A = this chain, B = another copy of it.
Amino acid sequence: MSSAPSENAAPENAALPPARTPGKRNAAATRQRILDVALAEFAEHGFSGSRIERIAAGASANVGMIYHYFGNKDDLYLAALEASYKIIRDREQTLDIAHADPRQALKALVELTFDFLSTDPHFVRLIMNENLMMGRTAQRSATIPHMTRPLLEQLRTLLARGQKEKIFHREMDAEDLYISILGLCFIHVSNRYTLGSMFQHDFAAPDWLARRKAIVVDVVTRSIVATPAR
């Protein structure tokens, strides 16, 4: 159920002996379990379709605990959304754009995005749901609006270097490039089921994903590399 328990729960549990004090359960751990389950629930059912009671049961907690730790359904959803964003942000930081060949760096960036969106079972669905809700919750968040800052910075650096080196000849904006990458990496996940019923195959199959990833890298690269006059 948990999308990334190791990264979130691990620090809490690290120093804890397996046997806890009987009367007092581990508060932080309970909170984290609720959050993990909530993230999965909201991703799977959307906001309206998610059930507080199901989250409580899934986290081996009870409804009261959710209200104790998170206030209400809206705020729990906000917390889940932020937690989900944090995962991708942390992932992006692992890239080292600066010291690579721009073309290789671009490839690495696209592949990371493609892999993350294709692999994380919750992120795309949460984003879709949030957009269906017209960004109501993301706007309330103190952290989400800035989430892609680092990625964009990397992209800008990368673009500038490529253009200076005449590898990328076009004056493409980082924003435009980012949106193209996102669109090409997002669609087969977001539209997995409607595409599936159109083309009659599974858009999450590993083989298909591997082939598609190469195509996406190619499409993105072709869109900015300098070409002899055409």
User: Binary interface profile of A, 33-54, with partner B (CB < 8 Å = 1, else 0)?
Assistant: 0000000000001111100000
> For residue A47, which residues in chain B have a CB less than 8 angstroms away from its CB?
49
Instruction: Give Cα A75 to B128, complex, Å.
Output: 23
The answer to whether B230 touches A194 (Cβ under 8 A) is no
User: Binary interface profile of A, 196-230, with partner B (CB < 8 Å = 1, else 0)?
Assistant: 11110000000000001001101100110101101
Assembly stoichiometry (copies) = 4
Please tell me the number of chain A residues within 8 Å of chain B, measured between CB atoms. Answer: 53
Nearest CB on B from A140, distance (A): 10
Which chain B residue lies CB-closest to A230? B227
Chain A positions within 8 Å of B, measured between CB atoms, are 45-49, 125, 127-132, 134-135, 138-139, 144-145, 147-148, 172, 175-176, 179-180, 182-188, 190-199, 212, 215-216, 218-219, 222-223, 225, 227-228, 230
The answer to whether B218 touches A148 (Cβ under 8 A) is no
The answer to whether A218 touches B227 (Cβ under 8 A) is no
Q: A144-B197, A179-B212, A225-B230 are in contact. List 9 more A-B contacts (CB 8 A).
A: A179-B195, A180-B215, A180-B219, A182-B187, A183-B185, A186-B191, A222-B223, A222-B227, A227-B230
